[in-house]
Amino acid sequence: MWVEITEGQLSVEKIYSWTVLEDCGAVVLFSGTVRDFSDGRPGVTKLSYEAYETVAFERMTDLAKRALSEFEGMGRVAVVHRLGEMTPGESTVIISVSAAHRDQAYEASRFLIDTLKKSVPIWKKESWMGGSDWGLGANSVKET
């Protein structure tokens, strides 16, 4: 299990290579990347991520453990999130899972990213040509 919160760039290749196991026939890797637009906010220039790091790490670890125990045939699970400023095209989060079969790998990957977004205290601030504000439905950790 690989769980990490970092301010450094994320390496899709490194995480993918770590996830591969000889007895697993599937690897699913999801990379959430910064895009250059958001609803009503064209021309996004950067995203800034903050987290309540202690709780975020604990919850990410719990999610990884749940995926390993609740989905059949699991091999490895990586849940890696980046903090700080990122520009369009950069990875902000990587979920990578290996499993005996593709169905389990896809299901576990979807569970991990969907549950992470709902339950892990990580917030994003969007900056675009017309201004900046916290992502829709989010506030700075300092404001909560």
One digit per residue, the tens of pLDDT, for the chain of length 144 reads 999 999 999 999 999 999 999 999 999 999 999 998 887 778 899 999 999 999 999 999 999 999 999 999 999 999 999 999 999 999 999 999 999 999 999 999 999 999 999 999 999 999 988 888 886 554 444 443
> Helix or strand or coil: residue 46?
strand
Residues 6+ apart with CB under 8 A from 87: 34, 45, 46
Tokens for 37? 């637009």
Full DSSP string of 90-138: -EEEEEEEEESSHHHHHHHHHHHHHHHHHHS-EEEEEEETTEEEEPTT-
The span from the CA of 6 to the CA of 16, in Å, is: 17
How buried is residue 4: exposed, middle or buried, by Cβ count under 10 Å (0-12/13-18/19+)?
middle
Query: In the chain, what are the domain boundaries?
Result: 2-128
Domain 2-128 fold is Aldehyde Oxidoreductase; domain 3 (3.90.1170)
The span from the CA of 30 to the CA of 8, in Å, is: 18
Whether pTM > 0.85 for this model: the answer is: yes
